[in-house]
Amino acid sequence: MPTDTSPPVTGRPDPGVLLAPPARPGDPLDAIDTPALLLDLDASDANVAALHAQAVAAGLAVRAHGKAHRCPRLALRQIAAGAVGICVQKVGEAEGFAAAGVRDILVTNEIVSPDKCLRLARLATLPGMRIATCVDDPLQVERLAAACASAGSRVDVLIEVDVGQQRCGVETPSQALAIAEAIDRAAPHLALRGLQAYHGRAQHLRGAGERAEAVARAAAVAREFRAALEQAGHAVSEISGGGTGSFPNEAGAGVWTELQAGSYALLDLDYRANAVDPAAPRLRQALGVMTTVISRRAAHAVLDGGLKSFAVDSGLPAMRDPRWKVVGLSDEHTVIRPLEGAAPLALGQRVILDPGHCDPTVNLHDWIVAYRGNTVEAVWPVLPRGASR
């Protein structure tokens, strides 16, 4: 096959027509082009109000996790409802939220490539921007410092501590101390803000007691590291972590200063499989995916969304109408079977499904169709796939 003679890469990957939104404000739900991501605003607003109220009552700030929805318009609503800012996992996400006007962003992740460090350092030059990221190795500190020196900016740093997640993070106080000293040496370009103490797995333990125990262990580790840093003269002004699945535990621990909840504005089947903590407000399912019946017979119907519309890492989606059972997905199809009492579905009929895992499901869609009752209220763009870089 010949050597590629394509023109040089410039501009956009696709004809604009393909990015047309699936609905317009004022449309009835039955006019939405499918597959489409839906957000029930009444449910989402109620969830946001409930979690924010509980965090405020416990003296915690809410730093809404933008990784859950990647939607700048939704982040601005969470900030209007009291969140101090947002957190994200990627520099590309930080750039997208910053472009929409968000001015307090924490990257809850390690950055190591010089190019990405420079992009973050440049974001820090935006007027009014307060920005931070995590480190667990002196090399990350060194590269961030060099990038900030080059950009003439300052980035705050949280030392990530492994409080049970067994992923990133330092394991011993002496590692944390060495990093804190490296951060101090990089002043004024870097400043130690505190600790990242995130235990994502704890949020998905099914029993309320298991979650409480895991968070208590995480809190003990965070306390130990805070004490070691403070004894050595390093101020620890923030300890950031927690999330939707375990926030009553973090709120009650007296260690965390801010809560990194994201899924609470959306919800999914995996969080709903948790045994309810009596201390937590009931969160409602706000996120859905609308599909259309494109084929049907007596024993099943076939919907026009599959693995390219639903992430299945935490299980299959479920029909919002519980009289229909999802039996399988392929790239662009979901097969559903009727249970006792199911009303027949017509060819062309639209149905809504609840996703297994909200974050990677939103990442499969370009738009969030926000609705109340039977009417579309707004259509919000989602950051592109490239925001993972």
Q: What minimum distance in Å lies between the beta carbon of 213 and its own copies?
A: 21
Q: What minimum distance in Å lies between the beta carbon of 188 and its own copies?
A: 25
| Helix (H), strand (E), coil (C) string for 27-84 | CEHHHCCCCEEEEEHHHHHHHHHHHHHHHHHCCCEEEEECCCCCCHHHHHHHHHCCCC
Instruction: Copy the structure tokens of residue 93.
Output: 């996400």
| Contact flag: residue 323 with its own copies (CB under 8 A) | no
Closer residue to its own copies, CB minimum distance, 13 or 127? 13
| Contact flag: residue 171 with its own copies (CB under 8 A) | yes
**Rounded CA gap, 132 and 153, in Å?**
12
| Contact flag: residue 364 with its own copies (CB under 8 A) | yes
Q: What minimum distance in Å lies between the beta carbon of 14 and its own copies?
A: 5
Cα–Cα nearest to 383, from 93, 165, 127, 172: 93
Q: Give bridge partners of residue 159 from the DSSP assignment.
A: 135, 195
The string of DSSP codes covering 219-278 is HHHHHHHHHHHHHTT----EEEE--TTTHHHHHHHS--SEE---GGGT--HHHHTSPPPT
| Contact flag: residue 230 with its own copies (CB under 8 A) | no
Residue 205 burial (CB count, 10 A)? 19
- Bridge pairing between strands 367-372 and 61-65: unpaired
| Contact flag: residue 295 with its own copies (CB under 8 A) | yes
Q: Give bridge partners of residue 369 from the DSSP assignment.
A: 38, 379
Closer residue to its own copies, CB minimum distance, 42 or 230? 42
Residue 371 burial (CB count, 10 A)? 24
**Rounded CA gap, 356 and 91, in Å?**
26
Task: Please classify residue 138 by burial: count the beta carbons closer than 10 Å to its beta carbon, then call 0-12 exposed, 13-18 middle and 19+ buried.
Answer: middle
Task: Select the residue interacting with its own copies from 254, 322, 347, 373 (CB under 8 A).
Answer: 347
| Contact flag: residue 4 with its own copies (CB under 8 A) | yes
Closer residue to its own copies, CB minimum distance, 32 or 180? 32
Q: What minimum distance in Å lies between the beta carbon of 358 and its own copies?
A: 10
Closer residue to its own copies, CB minimum distance, 43 or 253? 43
**182 Cβ contact partners less than 8 Å away, ≥ 6 residues apart:** 138, 141, 142
At residue 52, φ and ψ (nearest 5 deg) are -60, -40
Task: Select the residue interacting with its own copies from 80, 278, 341, 344 (CB under 8 A).
Answer: 80
Binding mask of the shown chain, residues 7 to 36, with x at each position contacting its own copies by CB under 8 A: -xx-xxxxxxxxxxxx-xx-------xxxx
Please, which of residues 181-210 interact with its own copies by CB under 8 A? 200
Task: Select the residue interacting with its own copies from 53, 101, 115, 207 (CB under 8 A).
Answer: 115
Residue 301, CB-side half-sphere exposure with 13 Å CA sphere: 23
Q: What minimum distance in Å lies between the beta carbon of 296 and its own copies?
A: 8
The footprint of its own copies on this chain (CB under 8 A) covers a number of residues equal to 103
Please, which of residues 31-70 interact with its own copies by CB under 8 A? 33-36, 41, 45, 48-49, 67
**Rounded CA gap, 193 and 52, in Å?**
23
Q: What minimum distance in Å lies between the beta carbon of 206 and its own copies?
A: 18
Instruction: Copy the structure tokens of residue 379.
Output: 């259509």
Please, which of residues 231-290 interact with its own copies by CB under 8 A? none
Residue 318 burial (CB count, 10 A)? 18
Interacting span for its own copies (CB under 8 A) from 56-64, 74-82, 234-242, 267-275 = 74-82
Task: Select the residue interacting with its own copies from 27, 38, 109, 180 (CB under 8 A).
Answer: 109
Interacting span for its own copies (CB under 8 A) from 113-121, 151-159, 228-236, 280-288 = 113-121
Q: What minimum distance in Å lies between the beta carbon of 89 and its own copies?
A: 4
Closer residue to its own copies, CB minimum distance, 257 or 316? 316
Task: Select the residue interacting with its own copies from 320, 333, 337, 342 (CB under 8 A).
Answer: 333
Task: Select the residue interacting with its own copies from 29, 126, 129, 137 (CB under 8 A).
Answer: 137
| Contact flag: residue 133 with its own copies (CB under 8 A) | no
| Contact flag: residue 338 with its own copies (CB under 8 A) | no
